[in-house]
Amino acid sequence: METIQVVLDKQLLQATDQAAKRSKINRSALVRVALREHLRRLELQAMDKRDREGYTRQPMGEKEFLWDAEAAWPEE
C-alpha cells in the first residue's frame, strides 16, 4: 500500500473518526472503503449513462418490448 496525505476540514475529520469508531475500523480503512464505494458508484453511473445514450441512438423496437412481457413472471 502507498501512503498519501489528504487534507480534511475539522468537521469532516471528526465525522470520519466517529464513523470509523462506530464501524470498529481505523480511519485509513474507513477512507479506503468510502473511496472504493464512491469509485464503484461512478462506474455504475458511467455505465448507466452509456446505456441511456445507446438507447437514445438506437431505441428498442416493438419486438423487444414483447419479449419483456413474455419474460415477466406470471401473475398468481
Read off the pLDDT of residues 3-30 as tens digits, 9 standing for 90 and up: 999 999 999 999 999 999 999 999 999 9
Quick check: helix, strand or coil at residue 25? coil
CB atoms within 10 A of CB 16: 16
Alpha helices per DSSP H over 4-61: 10-23, 27-57
Per-residue model confidence (pLDDT) at position 17: 97
Per-residue model confidence (pLDDT) at position 65: 61
Domain ranges within the chain, ordered by starting residue:
10-55
Per-residue model confidence (pLDDT) at position 22: 97
Stronger pLDDT, 59 or 53, i.e. the higher one: 53
Give pTM, 2 decimals.
0.66
Per-residue model confidence (pLDDT) at position 40: 96
pLDDT-wise least confident of 5-14, 41-50, 62-71: 62-71
